[in-house]
């Protein structure tokens, strides 16, 4: 069970529809006028906020904290080191969450797979636990690393002792899925190791089950804990990742599969996108980039005490600029600073505004501050 199943939520308090009245007739607006993208977004975010509180995961309401360098989540193992650093350091994401995929994964697990295990798989005096927590440490050349996370359903005894771990994954199609991925094997190994530590006995068997979001077909794969794979692949990755974090080093952009870059929320920052950025660290907003989803901007602004919008983004989101503040423009020529709202500008990032001091000396444009200049003296990393 990964944290993505509980997306972060923000709320200004319980959402209640304010009844709007037609200014001419004085009658309430018809229901058809109340159905809008904005009303749905507000309702859904408040629903998720309440759901997190109901499920005891209130810590998902609000900004995420910077992950300590020596702490790892099983679900992040063997992912692209650079992407993982960006995520751990709360770098601003460039695309929204695939909420529909997360929702389907949760529903498929809870409404289909758990009943299947309960009704067609477990034996006498066996039961199904929705999830079990693991929290343990491993020794590496980078020091002691902490691995913490929650499993998917586990078949257990009447005394809640683990019998069989499952790891549930959904894909649009499983037609060409002929073996579990290395990342999913690594995640499952981390849970097996954690359960063995927690219950002080060897728990070595698991099933990685893939389900199709299109057909509901499944493909299960039984695996055994492989000490060599754990040591040479999983722990080696964990050690390297901790060293990148401890040394404040931006890892290479080397995902296991090249297609991952096409779906990465940091492709522009990394240098794999359409803009001319390259190897940008996790701090700050990209200059001249206004493609951030609004909810991801709020997450970023909430996560960093000194964060403000760039002038380009302030023109796109003036209400957020009023709430969180905005940085000044910088002139490429004279170096002067100009307040973000002191310049008339249409928001076309291909035609940045001109510096009022330099306009008669030649065309010198105003630009957003560089990422490393945006968060002041915020500590921990670049």
Measure Cα distances from 335 to 28, 330, 360, 367 in Å: 54, 6, 16, 10
Check: CATH 3.90.320.10 for 65-282? Answer: yes
The closest of 165, 223, 170, 166 to 198, measured between CA atoms, is 165
Rounded alpha-carbon distances, angstroms, from residue 262 to 234, 257, 268, 276 = 24, 10, 11, 16
**For the chain, which residues make up each domain, given as ranges?**
3-60, 65-282, 284-382
pLDDT of 250-309, one tens digit each?
A: 999 999 888 888 889 999 999 998 888 999 999 999 999 999 999 999 999 998 989 999
- pLDDT given at position 381: 45
pLDDT digits (tens, 9 = 90+) for 235-253: 999 999 999 999 999 999 9
pTM for this one?
0.86
Q: Residue 14: is its pLDDT beyond 60? A: no
Stretch 15-34: mean pLDDT:
67
Give the pLDDT of residue 363.
Answer: 65
Q: Beta-carbon neighbour count of residue 67 at 10 Å?
A: 17
């Amino acid at each position: 069970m990964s944290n993505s199943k509980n997306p972060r939520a923000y709320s200004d308090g319980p959402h209640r529809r304010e009844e709007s009245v037609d200014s001419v007739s004085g009658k309430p607006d018809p229901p058809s006028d109340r159905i809008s993208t904005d009303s749905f977004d507000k309702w859904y975010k408040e629903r998720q906020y309440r759901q997190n509180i109901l499920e005891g995961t209130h810590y998902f309401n609000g900004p995420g904290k910077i992950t300590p360098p020596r702490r790892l989540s099983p679900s992040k193992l063997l992912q692209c080191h650079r992407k993982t650093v960006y995520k751990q350091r709360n770098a601003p994401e460039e695309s929204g969450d695939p909420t529909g995929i997360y929702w389907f994964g949760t529903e498929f697990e809870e409404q289909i797979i758990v009943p299947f295990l309960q009704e067609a798989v477990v034996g006498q005096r066996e039961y199904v636990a929705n999830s079990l927590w693991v929290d343990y440490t491993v020794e590496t050349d980078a020091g002691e690393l902490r691995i913490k996370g929650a499993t998917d359903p586990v078949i257990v005894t009447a005394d809640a002792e683990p019998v069989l771990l499952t790891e549930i994954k959904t894909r649009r199609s499983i037609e060409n899925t002929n073996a579990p991925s290395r990342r999913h094997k690594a995640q499952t190994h981390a849970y097996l190791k954690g359960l063995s530590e927690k219950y002080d006995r060897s728990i070595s068997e698991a099933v990685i089950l893939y389900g199709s979001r299109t057909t509901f077909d499944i493909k299960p794969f039984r695996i055994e804990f492989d000490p060599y794979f754990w040591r040479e692949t999983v722990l080696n990755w964990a050690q390297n990742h901790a060293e990148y974090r401890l040394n404040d080093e931006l890892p290479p952009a080397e995902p296991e599969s090249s297609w991952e870059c096409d779906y990465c929320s940091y492709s522009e920052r990394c240098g794999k996108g359409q803009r001319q950025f390259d190897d940008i660290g996790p701090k700050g907003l990209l200059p001249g980039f206004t493609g951030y989803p609004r909810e991801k901007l709020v997450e970023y602004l909430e996560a960093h005490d000194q964060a403000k919008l760039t002038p380009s983004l302030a023109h796109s989101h003036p209400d957020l600029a009023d709430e969180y503040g905005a940085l000044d423009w910088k002139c490429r020529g004279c170096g002067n600073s100009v307040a973000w709202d002191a310049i008339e500008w249409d928001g076309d990032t291909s035609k940045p505004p001109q510096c009022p001091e330099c306009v008669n000396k030649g065309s010198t444009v105003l630009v957003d501050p560089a990422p490393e200049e945006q968060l002041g003296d915020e500590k921990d990393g670049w």
